[in-house]
Amino acid sequence: MLSAVEGLKVVEPSLEDAVVPITAVIIVLLFLVQRRGTAAVGRIFGPVMIAWFAAIGACGVVGITDHPDILKALSPTYALDFLIGHFGTAFFALAAIVLAVTGAEALYADMGHFGRRAITRGWLFLVLPACVLSYLGQGALILDDPDHISSPFFLLVPDWGRWPMVLLATAATVIAYQAVITGAYSVASQAAKLGYLPRLRIAHTSESTIGQIYVPWINWLLMFSVLTLVFAFRSSAALAYAFCMAVTGTITTLLFFYVARAKWGTPVWVLAIGGGVLLFVDLLFVAANMTKLVHGAWLPLLIGLVTFTVMTTWQRGRELVTAARARAEGPLPEFIDDLRSGRASTRQIPGTAVFLNRGKETAPLAMRANVEHNHVRHEHVVILALKTEPVPRVPADRRVVVDDLGYADDGIIHVTARFGYMETPDVPGTLALLDPSATEGPLRLDETSYFLSKMELRRGTAPTMAPWRKRLFIATSYITADAAEYFGLPRDRTVIMGSHIEV
């Protein structure tokens, strides 16, 4: 965003001091409109990006015509000669060169949404040619006058076209920014469903596209973080090394190794040869960027360390809470036997009650509390467990599994509902899929009561985690979304019963 708005300095040098404020205003406006979704303006994204790549490619052609010799740079032999003959200089140059190819990984990250054919065509026939032409044109411009190195991209544009190019660059950056924000929502939502973050409040912004979501907590965290970076670094050049480390530090080749070996069964020797070359290149870029550690490369490493610490702490704390909760709940068979034998004095009342639980081994805390304190049980009881599968979406025919647990005569059944990590659980909608024959008749969902168990976390003395991690886990739990809203439960028929858990 900063690099796009910095074009103002080329068009009108007197606007240099306005670059940061204008950038901040655009960022704030962009985050403020996220709650409305992108469906309304999404249809113009494609044409704007096509116009953007066509424009930068055309400007590159103009520069190439002035210095056709720049086309020799297409040969990799020059780069190899420079790398081998001047390794010291070339090594440090890698920290800047990597900027030329950043973005390609983001394009291929969308392959799961648009398919391989659309992504490869977009890259090979539009993005790659446009970027190559633009880079060659900028190189030719610098050869013509080394002073142009201050801003070769915008100086490559004719005087009459610089204002439109600044506006087009800003629009293209906003679109790219939007893709990053949407990706952050999606990743955070998936991490929460896989147990690495607390349950987050998610709002769907499109009636037709399930992937368009809005996560308020992530939205405001991102806005605050981005504004902090803008006012701290104040220029794209200052942020360049932080950006490079963020891209190269992921080392996605390691993930490729795992997929190739575990999923495709690729022989180890093939991975050692082919993957080894890719890993060498990755590590070379990482090492080059490490030389810029004090110049901003530390920032993404710090962000990654903090994120990793929060996620692993939440995962560990969640395991401890689950174990403590299981002990408090007790075995489900014993609990139902107590109900059947009359050892638990209860009165049966008409209606259906749905108790959300983590599985069928333990009795739901809310159900146990209802029996022990209110001394009542419903005529029909559904114990519902929600499972997140490691796939994007689960087909409807595999959504629910009913188990009567041998207590169907007592009006108690267990239902497991499976969801993909890209799906938002809808409990009433899921229960509507149940076969009436499996539930001893149709459930009257318009009259069903839903029971939730709320955990109140306390820091205990057991050496389960370091004290600072316990405090971090409890602090992180405060951002957990309201369960009734998250699961789509009707507020007027939802009962929440609490319990204390020590970590």
pLDDT in tens, 285-305: 888 888 888 888 888 889 889
Please give the residue range of the domain that contains residue 466. 330-502
Give CA–CA dist 331/415, Å, rounded. 17
Residue 205 lies in a domain: yes
SS3 of residue 388 by DSSP: strand
pLDDT tens digits along 219-232: 999 999 999 988 88
Among 197, 217, 233, residue at a domain's last position: 233
Residue 437 lies in a domain: yes
Residue 199 lies in a domain: yes
User: 387 phi and psi, to 5 degrees?
Assistant: -115, 135
Q: What is the mean pLDDT of the chain?
A: 84
Q: Domain check: are 85 and 216 in the same one? A: yes
How many residues does this entry show for the chain?
503
CA distances from 36 to 26, 207, 486 (A): 16, 12, 19
Among 185, 216, 233, residue at a domain's last position: 233
Give CA–CA dist 237/233, Å, rounded. 9
Give CA–CA dist 318/89, Å, rounded. 49
Residue 159: per-residue pLDDT:
87
Residue 125: per-residue pLDDT:
92
Residue 168: per-residue pLDDT:
92
Give CA–CA dist 367/375, Å, rounded. 10
Residue 146 lies in a domain: yes
Q: Domain check: are 222 and 357 in the same one? A: no
SS3 of residue 349 by DSSP: strand
Residue 442: per-residue pLDDT:
62
To which H or E segment does residue 502 belong? strand 494-502
CA distances from 187 to 139, 196, 349, 378 (A): 38, 11, 44, 39
Question: Token pair of 430, please?
Answer: 């899921």
Residue 247 lies in a domain: no
Residue 274 lies in a domain: no
Q: Domain check: are 42 and 180 in the same one? A: yes
* Domains contained in the chain, number: 2
CA distances from 279 to 141, 271, 272, 315 (A): 34, 10, 10, 29
Residue 280 lies in a domain: no
pLDDT tens digits along 405-443: 776 667 788 888 888 877 778 888 888 877 766 666 566
Among 181, 201, 233, residue at a domain's last position: 233
pLDDT tens digits along 179-221: 788 878 888 888 888 889 998 887 777 655 556 778 889 999 9
Residue 283 lies in a domain: no
Q: Domain check: are 211 and 335 in the same one? A: no
Residue 469: per-residue pLDDT:
92
Give CA–CA dist 366/356, Å, rounded. 9
Residue ranges for the chain with pLDDT beneath 50 = none
Its pTM stands at 0.77
Give CA–CA dist 277/271, Å, rounded. 9
Give CA–CA dist 397/173, Å, rounded. 42
Closest to 348 measured CA to CA, from 340, 358, 359: 340
